[in-house]
Amino acid sequence: MEWENQTILVEFFLKGLSGYPRLELLFFVLIFLMYVVILLGNGTLILISILDPHLHTPMYFFLGNLSFLDICYTTTSIPSTLVNLLSERKTISLSGCAVQMFLGLAMGTTECVLLGMMAFDRYVAICKLLRYAIIMSKDAYVPMAVGSWFAGTVNSAVQTTFVVQLPFCRNNVINHFSCEILAVMKMACADISGNEFIMLVATILFTLMPLLLIIISYSLIISSILKIHSSKGRSKAFSTCSAHLTVVIIFYGTILSMYMKPKSKETFNSDDLDATNKIISMFYGVMTPMLNPLIYSLRNKDVKEAVKHLLNRRFFSK
C-alpha cells in the first residue's frame, strides 16, 4: 500500500550504452551495416522463393516465411536502437513500449514455432520420402506456417496485455536498448507472480515444445541417415537438412547463452560487465537474421542457382 501515493509512470528511459559515447557511434555504424545486409539477404530469399518455380516447395515456403519474419523482427527493434544510440533523448512512452514488447515477442515466438515446423518438414523429406508429397501437401504446410504466426500473435497479445495493465511507479530506467518484456515487468509496483506464471507456461509451449520437436525430428533423421549404406547417399541426405540444423543451433544456442548463463555476483567493473551483456544481447537480435540467408545460400545448391538465374535475367533483360 506504500505505492498508492507514488506517481504513475507514463514513459521510460532506455539506458542503452549511455556513458559510452564512442561505443555508441561505433555500434551505430556496425548495426546499420548489418541491418542493410539483413534486408538485402532476406529480401533476396523471399524474392527467389516467389519468382523461381523450382523453389515452390514446402521447404522454401517455410524459408520465405522465416526470411520475412527476420525482416519484421529486426525492423521492430533495430531502427529504434539506432535512434537510441545517437539521440540524447532516450525516452519512450508506455504505449510505444507496449508496441515494442508486442512485436518483439510475437516475432520471437513465431520463429521458435516455425523452426519446429521446418524440422518436421525435414523429417518427412528424409524419413518418409515416398509419402512426402502427400504428407506435406499445400493443405498441410500453409496451415502450419499460418499456425506459427497465429501462435506468436496470441502469445504476445496475452503477455503484453497483462504487462501494460500493471502499475509502474518505481525507477523508470530500462537497462536496455528497447523494451524487453521481462525488464519492464520487473519495474512494476505490484505482484507479478501471475505474469511470471503466464510467461513460464508460454515458454514451455512456444519455446521448449518446438525445441523438443526439433530434437525428436533430428534424432529420427540421424538414425535414418546412419542406416544408408553409401557415403554419397548419407552426404546427400544430410545436405538437405544441414542448413536448417545450423540455423537452429545458432538460434537456440544464443538464447540459451543469454538467458541460462549464471549471473555474476562480482562488483568489480560491474558497469563494463553490464555494457558487455547488453552488447551481446543486441548482437543476438541481429546476428541470427543476418546469418540465416548466408547459411541457406552457401549450403544450398538450389538457392545459389536461383540467385544466379535471377541476376542473369535482370542484367540480360536490360
Q: pLDDT for 258-293, tens place per residue? A: 665 555 444 434 444 455 666 666 666 788 888 888
- How far apart, in whole angstroms, are the C-alpha atoms of residue 90 and residue 179? 12
Count of CB atoms within 10 A of residue 204's CB? Answer: 11
What is the grid cell recorded at 10?
507514463
Question: What's the pTM?
Answer: 0.86
Residue 120 has pLDDT above 50, yes or no: yes
* Strand, helix or coil for residue 174: strand
Q: 1 falls in which pLDDT band (50, 70, 90)?
A: very low
Q: Tell me what pLDDT residue 205 has.
A: 94
Average pLDDT, rounded, for the chain: 82
Q: Could you give phi then psi for residue 262, rounded to 5 degrees?
A: -70, 140
Q: Does residue 309 or residue 192 have the better pLDDT?
A: 192
What is the grid cell recorded at 2?
506504500
Pick left, alpha or beta for residue 269 (phi over 0 → left; psi -120 to 50 → alpha; otherwise beta). Answer: left
Alpha-helical runs (H) found in the chain: 21-51, 58-75, 78-86, 94-127, 132-135, 138-164, 181-185, 193-203, 209-226, 231-239, 242-259, 270-298, 301-316
Residue 100 has pLDDT above 80, yes or no: yes
Highest mean pLDDT among 33-37, 77-81, 183-187, 311-315: 33-37
Q: 201 falls in which pLDDT band (50, 70, 90)?
A: very high
- How far apart, in whole angstroms, are the C-alpha atoms of residue 199 and residue 180? 13
- How far apart, in whole angstroms, are the C-alpha atoms of residue 298 and residue 300? 6
Residue the block writes with cell 538457392: 303
- How far apart, in whole angstroms, are the C-alpha atoms of residue 8 and residue 106? 27
Which helix (DSSP H) or strand (DSSP E) does residue 13 occupy?
strand 11-14
Q: Tell me what pLDDT residue 82 has.
A: 85
- How far apart, in whole angstroms, are the C-alpha atoms of residue 74 and residue 61? 20
Residue 156 has pLDDT above 70, yes or no: yes
